[in-house]
Amino acid sequence: MKILVTGATGYIGKRLIPLLLNDGHTIICPVRDKKRAENYYKDQKKIHLIEADFLDKESLKLLPTKIDAAYYLIHSMSNSAKEFHILEEKCAFNFKRFTETTNIKQVIYLSGITNDTKLSKHLLSRKNVEITLASEKYALTTFKAGIIVGSGSSSFEIIRDLVEKLPAMIAPKWLKTKTQPLAIRDVLSFLHKSLGKKELYNTSHDIFGPEILTYKQMLLQFAEVRKLKRWILTVPVMTPKLSSYWLYFVTSTSYKLASSLVNSMGVEVIGNKSNINSILGVTPMTYKEAVKLAFKKIEQNSIISSWKDSYISSGKLKNYIHKFINVPEYGCFKDYKKRTIKDEEKVLDKIWAIGGETGWYYGTFLWKIRGFLDQFFGGAGLRRGRRHPTELNAGDALDFWRVIYADKEKGKLLLYAEMILPGEAWLEFKIEQNTLYQTATFRPVGIAGRLYWYAVTPFHWFVFNGMISRIAKN
């Protein structure tokens, strides 16, 4: 079968596509940034990447019309709480208009459980997208999931941050809200096994785990798995805004995403029972089993996808990383350094391990201060870390940087700053003829940008000098 998969570089898409490839299907992936997607799907002959944006209906003309089925996995196209629902509906409308011109028989859509009478803006948007996608030209199969638990998922990482950082918590009352968490492995089973199932055409099913838990119970059970003792006191006086700040400062989420999550967490996410488990032969695992499985993946360094690698995790929306691959030369300040090296392979390994748990090799306390200031002003700070301790691909989040270019064979790594800045910044590492070149480039915006550069120049001298010396040292 020829299958169109939207959201191919997203958390669900990157995990679903390998399952479809194993079945021998040909995958068509419309992506907003082909350069980024190519890093994820190297040497895959049955994957066709086509640059297209569902916000731009004209770009969809490049997509083939001979398609048998499609997965609609587009969610929250913007990190602005005021406009994301409008963009989601526009994407769904353009997707529907395109697919109605194809030979497609089935569209499979992953949504959220929307049974509560009072829905958050986020869940209401999911419901409206389902209505928009319905068509007489193809069959729509909708799965509505609650909290998804898996290595790299936003809910898993937020709970992990709260449990592992806070021995005791004074938490908002929404921790008493009930939900039915579902393991990512079970979500993928539902999506995978429903392909081509005619009995599921034009049906909608809630999919959920076997337990009804409050968020407080989820935190405490998570702590049990991690063998940690935690105390939680819920208070009724914490406003949604205070709750958002609480999540933002304690966890690795951006403030805008924290705000959206808080609004959703006040809504009970309880699914309606159906026979979908027996139809597809899926027996969802318990919450504790899902947490244990997630940590097995983490311990094996086999996290396939992470929400932190989404552009939305920075609090800035950078849809096209290739736009930043050409570092500007004019109107910029540069900090340029080089060192002679003896062992290129060892130096490359150090560069590819930079950030996250490894740190930045020199002036750790200064990096931490810069990360704290960035977080204080609404940025990502150093909280995102990195997905894998030694692997880097274009599009990956790396603390408060974004990987723009990563080619170990060519000896080049280019990072783009996603911290709060009065301008734009790049950091490049390059090895040529036994010489390591390290270049920090800053393009200021206005007087504030220039004053910022002059203010941090003394710190740059220490940090960048020390960093390249440590990296080049054998």
pLDDT tens string 26-64: 999 998 877 777 777 777 788 999 988 888 888 898 899
Interval 193-247: pLDDT, tens? 999 999 999 999 999 999 999 989 998 999 999 888 988 888 776 666 676 666 6
Interval 99-137: pLDDT, tens? 999 999 999 999 988 887 677 777 788 888 999 999 999
* Verdict on whether the full-model pTM lies above 0.85: no
Q: What is the pLDDT of residue 259?
A: 67
Mean pLDDT of 66-82: 74
Q: Give phi and psi for 88, each to the nearest 5.
A: -60, -45
Residues 6+ apart with CB under 8 A from 83: none
Q: Which domains does the chain have, with CATH numbers?
A: 2-306 (3.40.50.720), 321-472 (3.30.530.20)
Max Cα–Cα distance, the chain, nearest Å: 67
Q: Give buried/exposed letters for 368-387 (b at 16+ CB in 10 A, else e).
A: eebbeebbeeebbbbbbbbb
Q: What is the pLDDT of residue 243?
A: 66
Q: pLDDT: is 397 or 213 the higher one?
A: 213
User: How far lies 247's CA from each of 30, 218, 420, in Å?
Assistant: 33, 16, 19
Q: State how far the Cα of 252 lies from the Cα of 378, in Å rounded to an integer.
A: 12
Q: Give phi and psi for 305, each to the nearest 5.
A: -145, 150
Q: State how far the Cα of 402 lies from the Cα of 71, in Å rounded to an integer.
A: 27
Q: Give phi and psi for 472, each to the nearest 5.
A: -75, -20
Mean pLDDT of 313-337: 68
Q: What is the pLDDT of residue 151?
A: 80
Q: State how far the Cα of 87 lies from the Cα of 75, in Å rounded to an integer.
A: 9
Q: What is the pLDDT of residue 67?
A: 93
In this prediction, residue 317 has a pLDDT band, given cuts at 50, 70 and 90, of: very low
Local structure of 44: helix, strand or coil: coil
Q: State how far the Cα of 121 lies from the Cα of 268, in Å rounded to an integer.
A: 14
Q: What is the pLDDT of residue 81?
A: 47
Q: What is the pLDDT of residue 53?
A: 87
3-state secondary structure 53-114: CCCCHHHHHHCCCCCCEEEECCCCCCCCCCCHHHHHHHHHHHHHHHHCCCCCCEEEEEEECC
Q: Which of 150, 130, 310, 257 is nearest to 202 (CA)?
A: 130
The two structure tokens encoding residue 299: 């311990």
Q: Give phi and psi for 309, each to the nearest 5.
A: -80, -5
Helix (H) or strand (E) holding 414: strand 412-417
Local structure of 343: helix, strand or coil: coil
Helix (H) or strand (E) holding 48: strand 47-51
> Pairing state of beta strands 435-444 and 333-340?
antiparallel
Name the range with the highest mean pLDDT among 33-47, 348-362, 378-392: 348-362
Exposed/middle/buried for residue 6 (C-beta within 10 Å: 0-12, 13-18, 19+): buried
Q: State how far the Cα of 283 lies from the Cα of 281, in Å rounded to an integer.
A: 7
Interval 145-192: pLDDT, tens? 988 898 877 778 788 878 888 888 887 777 888 889 999 999 999 999
How many separate helices (H) and strands (E) can be counted in the chain?
14, 19
- pLDDT surpasses 80 at 256: no
